[in-house]
Structures are given as C-alpha cells and as structure tokens.
C-alpha cells in the first residue's frame, strides 16, 4: 500500500478516455456541499483552454497545464504547481488532477512516487477512471491509453449507462473486469456518484501496479514512445505509445500516427442559426473520425456563454453563465480525432460568424 500519513495531501487522479465524463464528475464533486476545499489541476489537450472554463468555480481554484501531455512535457509543471500548493498548506484538503483523455495514467501516478519531494508531501489516493459505456469497447480496440486507464484504475465509473442496452452494459463491464478485476466499479449516469465513493479512498496500491508494470518506480522519464518530432530525450522504451502535442503556428496539432487536435477561435459573434446546422452536419458526416468536440461560444444578441460538447456524433449544449463585463467574448472550438480536414473545419467554423 502507498503510505497514508495523515499530514500528506491526498491526490485523486481523474482519468478516462475523451468525452467519458471526467469534467462532469469533477463538477459534481466541486458542487457538493462537502465543506472541503479542493485544488484542481486540469491537463488539457489543445492550446485554447476549454476544460478550465468548464469547471465550476473555475475562477480561483483551477490550475491549467496546456502545453503537452501530462506524462511528458508538463511533468515539471505538475511538480511546480503542487509545490506551489504546498506552500498554501492548510488552505485545502486535497488535490484533484484531471488528465486529458489521451493520457496514460501510469506516468502521472509515477510522478508521486518517483519524485522525492512529491512523495514526501502528497499521497496518491486513487486513480479514478470514467469509462464511456457506449464507446469503451471500440476504444479498447484502437487506443492503448484507454486500456491503461482501465488497468490502472482503483475506482471505475461505468458511465453513460443511458446510452446502451442492459446487454451491452453487461458486455462492457465484463470487458473491464477482464482488464481489471480489482477496481471498485459503479454504474453511473452523468457521472452521478456519492463523493465518498471517489475521494479519500486510500485505494492506490503500489504492489498491484508494480505487478502490472515492473518498471514503475524506475527513475527518469516515463515509459513511452514519442513521435519523431517530439524533441525529448527518452532513455528507454517499454512499449507504451503516446500522443504528443506540438504547436504549429496558431494551431495546435496533437498527433502520433494519426490522432490530432485542431482548434479555432474568433472574437466575432457567431450566428446560432448557422452554427448548429453546420456542427450537426460535421459530426453526422465525420462523427466516426471526430472523437471529441467542444467549444465555448459567443452568439450574437446572446448575453450568455454557450457551451457545446460532442462525443462522436452525439452533441450536447447549454447556456453556461452570462459573459462577464470585462471578459473577452471569444468563441473557441476544438476537434479531436483522426484524419481531420483542418482547412474545411476552419472554413466551416468561420462561416458561422454572424
């Protein structure tokens, strides 16, 4: 078992594939009247910082790490942020770290053991994985990260139970159990779960993880294969594969062989009557290759921020809150997927300007 010294700050790592329901869970946790104060760290995929803005109470508590995947380029950032938090000890009861949907949780968890300072001041409480009941089976076939997220979990939320039949649900649960028979598993809708099933679990078991990955405690860079243009010096490769983000001009592309993230923004108000038909058409046509889409939008004559979310072809959207007087009314949208036609997406988005 990991040490559970009471003076150490518990860290909950929230993981799960793109669009599974991590932010939904985070918002639930932060909205509950638990009387506790949590520091939230969000590691996001893409440069325009949408997740940060989707977290409730985002103003004072959320620390964002945008420039790269958490297991590689931003591990230093993570250590620095937590170091800063430690100086404010006593002001919060725990740290919740939401990783990008494409992160392998192993190197993230590793940070808390390999870095001496981190190990002395924090304890990894649990890796909580949100799994999308509708899409998990497909992702287990084509995304190694999805498999690792399940394998490393201490707690699994089998989410979006409303989108599948009872039979499909049993099937996906059996698949999860095949990969990880140990985790506590809960079936959820909209990540609805009692907070005490997720936080303060004392569940992260180093022994089990070492059985899965003997090199877990090795010093140095985490184990994965970087893309050809990563620019990082990795000492060894134990066969993980990971996606890395690289900024090219104004756009940020994430890619290994094929996964990429493209984002666009405009400060001109959008026309809702143009935007919705366009985005519906985009996901209807390219839904299988677009794994995730999301945006924060400013519509003409609308005082509220509109948050739009998509997972493959399923779209969701709602008014979030009024734009603040001093806030720049920037519309931002991100698409994450394979073989994206960037120019066409950009053109389509900009054509939605009112």
Ligand X SMILES: Nc1nc2c(ncn2[C@@H]2O[C@H](COP(=O)(O)OP(=O)(O)OP(=O)(O)O)[C@@H](O)[C@H]2O)c(=O)[nH]1
What x/- string results for residues 184 through 223 when contact with ligand X is judged by CB under 6 A?
A: -----xxx--------------------------------
* Residue 18 in the binding site for ligand X (CB under 6 A): yes
Which of 78/118 has CB closer to ligand X?
78
Q: Among 10, 68, 94, 101, which residue interacts with ligand X (rule: CB under 6 A)?
A: 101
CA–CA gap between residue 35 and residue 44 (Å, rounded) = 27
CA–CA gap between residue 128 and residue 12 (Å, rounded) = 7
The residues facing 186 across adjacent strands are 157
Q: Parallel, antiparallel, or unpaired for β 122-132 and 155-159? A: parallel
Torsion of CA 130, 134, 136, 138, to 10 degrees: -160
* Residue 316 in the binding site for ligand X (CB under 6 A): yes
The residues facing 94 across adjacent strands are 38
In the complex, least distance from residue 31 CB atom to ligand X, rounded to whole angstroms: 13
Footprint of ligand X on residues 254-293 (CB under 6 A)? 292
* Residue 164 in the binding site for ligand X (CB under 6 A): no
Which of 187/238 has CB closer to ligand X?
187
In the complex, least distance from residue 205 CB atom to ligand X, rounded to whole angstroms: 24
CB 219 within 8 A of CB 114: yes
Q: Among 159, 180, 298, 331, which residue interacts with ligand X (rule: CB under 6 A)?
A: 159
* Residue 318 in the binding site for ligand X (CB under 6 A): no
* Residue 129 in the binding site for ligand X (CB under 6 A): no
* Residue 58 in the binding site for ligand X (CB under 6 A): no
* Dihedral sign for Cα atoms in the order 314, 246, 244, 198: negative
- 41 — alpha (psi -120 to 50), left (phi > 0) or beta? beta
CA–CA gap between residue 248 and residue 260 (Å, rounded) = 12
* Residue 253 in the binding site for ligand X (CB under 6 A): no
Q: Among 8, 22, 312, 332, which residue interacts with ligand X (rule: CB under 6 A)?
A: 22
* Residue 46 in the binding site for ligand X (CB under 6 A): no
Q: Among 56, 58, 86, 163, which residue interacts with ligand X (rule: CB under 6 A)?
A: 163
CB 260 within 8 A of CB 337: yes
Judged by CB under 6 A, which stretch of 158-166, 214-222, 319-327, 343-351 contacts ligand X?
158-166
Residues whose CB is less than 8 angstroms from the CB of residue 111 and which lie 6 or more positions away in sequence, other chains included:
75, 78, 79, 118
Binding site for ligand X (CB under 6 A): 16, 18-24, 51, 101, 130, 159-160, 162-163, 189-191, 292, 309, 311, 316
């Amino acid at each position: 078992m990991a040490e559970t010294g009471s003076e150490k700050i518990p860290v909950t790592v929230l993981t799960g594939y793109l669009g599974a329901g991590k932010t939904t869970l985070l918002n639930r946790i932060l909205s509950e009247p638990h009387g506790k104060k949590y520091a939230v760290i969000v590691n996001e995929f893409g440069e325009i910082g949408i997740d940060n803005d989707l977290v409730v109470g985002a103003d004072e508590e959320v620390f964002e790490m945008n420039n790269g995947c958490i297991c590689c380029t931003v591990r230093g950032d993570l250590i620095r942020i937590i170091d800063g938090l430690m100086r404010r000890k006593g002001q919060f009861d725990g740290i919740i770290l939401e990783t990008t949907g494409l992160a392998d949780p192993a190197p993230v968890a590793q940070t808390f053991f390999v870095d001496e300072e981190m190990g002395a001041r924090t304890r990894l409480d649990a890796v909580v994985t949100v799994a999308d009941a509708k899409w998990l089976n497909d992702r287990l076939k084509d995304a190694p990260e999805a498999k690792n997220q399940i394998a490393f979990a201490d707690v699994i939320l089998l989410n979006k139970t409303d989108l599948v039949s009872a039979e499909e649900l049993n099937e996906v649960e059996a698949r999860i159990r095949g990969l990880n028979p140990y985790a506590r598993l809960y079936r959820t809708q909209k990540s609805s779960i009692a907070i005490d099933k997720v936080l303060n679990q004392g569940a992260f078991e180093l022994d089990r993880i070492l059985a899965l990955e003997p090199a877990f405690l090795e010093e140095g860079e985490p184990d994965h294969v970087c893309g050809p243009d990563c620019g990082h010096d990795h000492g060894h490769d134990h066969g993980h594969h990971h996606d890395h983000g690289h900024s090219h001009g104004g756009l940020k592309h994430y890619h290994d062989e094929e996964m990429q993230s493209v984002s666009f923004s405009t400060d001109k108000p959008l026309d809702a009557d143009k935007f919705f038909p366009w985005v519906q058409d985009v996901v209807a046509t390219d839904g299988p290759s677009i794994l995730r889409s999301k945006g924060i939008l400013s519509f003409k004559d609308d005082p509220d921020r509109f948050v739009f979310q998509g997972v493959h072809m399923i779209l969701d959207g709602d008014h979030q809150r009024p734009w603040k007087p001093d806030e720049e009314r920037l519309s931002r949208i991100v698409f994450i997927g394979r073989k994206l036609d960037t120019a066409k997406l950009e053109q389509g988005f900009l054509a939605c300007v009112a």
